[in-house]
Amino acid sequence: MSFSYTLWRHPEDHSDPRNEIELDAATRRSLEEEPPWGRPAWLIEQAQVFKYPMLWEAVRTSWQASPDPERHSLAQQLVDHTSHVLRNGFREELGLPDGPSDGDGGWEPRLSAVTRASVDVDGSERDALHIDTDPLVYAVGFRVEENVVCTTVVSRDSLPLIALALTTYE
């Protein structure tokens, strides 16, 4: 399961225009102008979210019934989540063409980039692993329990604006 979050640069007032991202004229028009066929209220409301920066698929929780020691290791899942966010959220910065990417473009994180760290979970520091070598994102993950892993990947530009702390839900 993955969670995306709206990033409020000025959380005290969500309607503050400084919270909005720069949009080209065509995108802004498509969000603000009502098409001739109309849109339901829920879609109009949901479209407004596109005006704000997102922490796209920032937190991922994975459960495996029978974890494979290599494929489902915390380190491998952290690398996989980081690659996913980079491939889908930073295509232009990475020089990736539109459409599916095939093979290694030299930008993908390696297992050798994963090192020990800690992360705040429910107000306590937990042992974790992180990737702190990528210029575009920071990634951290921890094992919730034997079959459950939680990983977080956020853009480096967002880091000064957030407190990287996680809360578990039952």
Going by the DSSP 8-state scheme, the letter that residue 21 receives in this structure is P
What is the band of 32 on the pLDDT scale with cuts at 50, 70, 90? Answer: confident
**How much is the pLDDT for 98?**
81
Q: pTM of the predicted model, to two decimals?
A: 0.88
Query: How far from chain centre, in Å, is Cα 139?
Result: 9
pLDDT for residue 13 is more than 90: yes
DSSP SS3 for 25: helix
Half-sphere exposure of 15 (CA within 13 A, CB side): 0
Greatest alpha-carbon pair distance for the chain in Å reads 55
Do 150 and 141 meet the contact criterion of CB atoms below 8 Å apart? yes
For residue range 78-127, what is the model confidence (pLDDT) as tens digits?
999 999 999 999 999 998 888 776 656 788 999 999 999 999 999 999 99
**Nearest 5 degrees, angle CA 34-CA 35-CA 41?**
55
Do 59 and 84 meet the contact criterion of CB atoms below 8 Å apart? no
What is the band of 135 on the pLDDT scale with cuts at 50, 70, 90? Answer: very high
Burial of 11 (0-12, 13-18, 19+ CB in 10 A): exposed
Q: At a CB cut-off of 8 Å and minimum separation 6, what does 124 contact? A: none
